[in-house]
Amino acid sequence: MGTTALTLYGQAHDPRTTDFLDLSPADLQRDVDAIICNPPYTSGDSLPAAYKDRINTQIEQSIGSEISARSPLHAYFIYHARQFLSGGDRAAFITPQSLLTTRYGESLKQYLLRCSRSKRSSNSTRLVNESSRTLTRRPSSHS
């Protein structure tokens, strides 16, 4: 869908087929202003054990804290996306309602709250959780 829209409006784009969790900001060769994501809702138990161990270790190292071993794939997308955002950038994720009520969701919510508190001002940081959507805004460096 994104490729079609960018093509129709004559905007440059570089579509790729890759695992998002293997992508780094340096791979994009440009800044990201926003992320809109409908990640796969694959349960953690459905992932191959070696893959699950690899991404869990990778994300834990990048965020500096433990992640619930019960986390589904969409949770890893949310953790990983954070490194692509700069001050003032935004990300929106379509998530299942279980994000708000499960044990794995607790560690993810704590992480998002910690990120949103990293810089406080009256207008800088918002963390909005609704039943089927998570939106987080990283504080700008100007605040």
Does residue 140 contact residue 85 with C-beta atoms inside 8 Å? no
- Percent of the chain's residues with pLDDT above 70: 80
Report yes or no on 143 lying in a domain: no
| pTM, two decimal places | 0.74
Domain count across the chain:
1
Contacts 24+ apart (CB under 8 A), 61-67: 63/111, 65/107, 65/111, 66/107, 67/104, 67/107, 67/108
- In the chain, the amino acid numbered 109 is K
Report yes or no on 33 lying in a domain: yes
- 139 or 108, greater pLDDT: 108
pLDDT at 143 over 50: no
Report yes or no on 88 lying in a domain: yes
Report yes or no on 102 lying in a domain: yes
pLDDT (tens digit, 9 = 90+) per residue, 74-117? Answer: 999 999 998 898 878 888 888 888 887 888 888 888 888 887 76
Report yes or no on 110 lying in a domain: yes
Report yes or no on 86 lying in a domain: yes
Q: Domain of residue 132: give its range.
A: 2-137
Per-residue pLDDT at 86? 82
Q: How many CB atoms lie within 10 A of CB 76?
A: 24
pLDDT at 129 over 50: no
Report yes or no on 51 lying in a domain: yes
95 vs 6, 99, 105, CA distance in Å? 25, 7, 11
Radius of gyration of the chain (CA): 16
Report yes or no on 142 lying in a domain: no
Span 53-62, mean pLDDT?
94
